[in-house]
A and B are shown apart, each in its own frame.
Chain A
């Protein structure tokens, strides 16, 4: 296990450095830079040179990369070129919002989607199954921005209410925090629930047709025990994999919901940094996203062993 962890962490370090290089080159391949953004239409060549020098953009790209990488390895992500705040502080604040949305969405999606999928699987082919599958179909087909927009406009029209505009952390006021996050989490959560439900249903239906389940039922094992001990445990591994993928998808995809509900999350921070060509924020933010994705993958792999002790991590 320890050896496995060391191997994985070493591989992760190499992947992170490669990813940082790709990110570094990619963000610079977009035409225009922060100097052009700052100077606007009527720039002066001397002013342009001076600003380029100030930001270090006059140096060769490999020097810029090595400077940045050495700062990152020393734990310094730099300072935002346009906002002036330390990059890590900006990412930390934004990441907190995104992670809160991500985990609460995962919670709503799991609490709603898994039971729905189980019920649909148990009642395969019956009207309840068809009803749940209709919900799944709508949830999978509806774009998240449309659902969010309908909720925002619908709640405003029906109840004359809209979420407060400034994000408040739960430590400051839990009720206000939930008021701000309710609609975005419902929008994302319902869609995720549909995905979970569909996934769990397929696995439950498939498990019911397996020999070991038929044998257990034939032997007279109570349905409750068959379900919890044999079926649910066996769909555990694919479900955890699926949840890991969904979490990464949520973290990467919250930009739409953050933009719609004016949440100061990581997606919106990255989007505005692309527009402003704020390379330090963009590079730092993307690197953090890559690291999170790798951490989630590692956590999923480790969970396999917890769920099924037969799994050997090598």
Chain B
């Protein structure tokens, strides 16, 4: 016998589905089951998960702290209007649905009801408008301001609706309203003079976990948000991130089960715990790329022939094996986790196959028949760069390029990068899962982009502009395919490989899925078995 409540629920679901189908052309609805990772079938609730981390966030301010180590953990405390699904879809999170105007300039976003901040206040459109207007105003000093450069206004329509107006069509807006800089906080929060620094003591987001304690050089304790809007989630009572300053301590702690879950980056560390009973090692595709950047401001690199010669002398697989022991995937012009959806097959790209004879000829044609000397900078503390640099030196020597390796401090490197004086350098960066977010700022000519490598490629910039405005997925793919071919042909950068995310967990840690960004969304779906 069918129960009347069940019938009513079924009726509501069918009506909702029909509504979604009817309005599909211009609106998009939430799929709560896709958030953060798969829901567990029969989770055990409660318990404290101890997560070991070799990186400590320098601060927890989701508006003004740009470090990836910050974003990894703050995604559990702060939420944006959308969630960046691993496949690149922007899934509504604090939003419920949205419509896009025919001229593609106005996003009208319906907000989820019944969402409370950690402060106890109820979220309204006023909070959303405040948060995004704060972040997009460069005077407020947020590194995310550039991401909101295309937004001209964020206005309140009613308590549960906001309208975001753009200066030009940009299909990546929903992903920009994700969790990197898309956090929504109570209106007026930054009016207090100590607001910025207070975010290290108290969280004011809407996420599944609240900040309980942040002790420098020690730990970060998150506690379950009892008022969290998603019923039944999260499963854990607490997550304790323990900051360990070296791999040896981490391995000993994993072996002795003082740590339940950890992400490892060094292949030698992974191998040391491979055979430890009760530990499981898992590999996940990433949106990270290790690249060799070729800044055109650096004498010889202004010649495209020299850049092509370097590309032809590089054996990416050998560098990947030397530096991360094979725990990754070599790439052409697209990060590994986006290759299937957006990447051009490596066989269809120029300058990807090792060809020393052609490299020598290109160098000779460029006026360097006897080879040339180049300086390569690497960053101190980035373990993969040292073996990669030595391997690259051997490889380029075969083409007559003599490489001088200089190891520099991260602060110095960032300064060089920002002032576009990077020369030949290894780079290590990650993206959100959309080609526009991957390429636009790095490669579009100034002033719209930053063009860090002084590429100054007008055709490529036009493609990046077209790709950002186009909403048809098939046409976008075509545009970005053409861009990638230009990237491979004129070589402002050589994308070497994507290192997999490698996680080690004890048997009792269940249902953890690592997001390709490397951020710890999956902890909102994790539970501890007995």
Residues of A within 8 A of B (CB): 30-33, 36-44, 46-48, 50-51, 54, 79-85, 90, 94, 149, 152-153, 156, 160-162, 164-167, 259-262, 264-265, 268-269, 272, 275-277
Contact = CB atoms under 8 A, between A and B. Distances in A.
A104 B441 CA distance: 54
Nearest to A84: B197
A38 B143 contact: yes
Interface of B: 50, 52, 56, 58-59, 64-67, 138-143, 145-146, 194, 196-201, 214-219, 242-246, 248-249, 252-253, 255-256, 258-259, 409-412, 414-415, 417-418, 429, 441-442, 450, 452
B415 A31 contact: yes
Nearest to A33: B411
Contacts of B138: 44, 46-47, 50
Contact of B216 (A43, A85, A152, A259): A85
A32 B58 contact: no
A44 B245 contact: no
A166 B145 contact: no
B410 A40 contact: no
Contacts of B140: 47, 50
B414 to A, nearest CB: 5
Contact of A40 (B66, B141, B246): B66
Contacts of B415: 31-32, 36
Contact of B414 (A36, A44, A80, A82): A36
B200 A83 contact: yes
Contacts of B59: 38, 82-84
Nearest to B427: A41
Given A42-B143, A83-B214, A153 B252 contact: yes
Contacts of A272: 56, 216-217
Contacts of B64: 38, 51
A160 B252 CA distance: 9
Contacts, number: 157
A156 B410 contact: no
B30 to A, nearest CB: 30
A107 B298 CA distance: 58
Contact of A162 (B216, B243, B258): B258
Contacts of A85: 197, 200-201, 216
A94 to B, nearest CB: 7
B217 A156 contact: no
Contact of A165 (B197, B214, B253): B253
27 contacts: A32-B412, A36-B418, A37-B411, A38-B143, A39-B66, A40-B67, A40-B143, A42-B66, A42-B442, A43-B143, A43-B146, A46-B138, A47-B138, A47-B142, A47-B146, A51-B141, A82-B59, A84-B198, A85-B216, A152-B249, A153-B252, A161-B256, A164-B258, A165-B242, A259-B245, A262-B249, A268-B245
Nearest to B411: A32
A80 B218 CA distance: 16
A42 B418 CA distance: 7
A262 B242 contact: yes
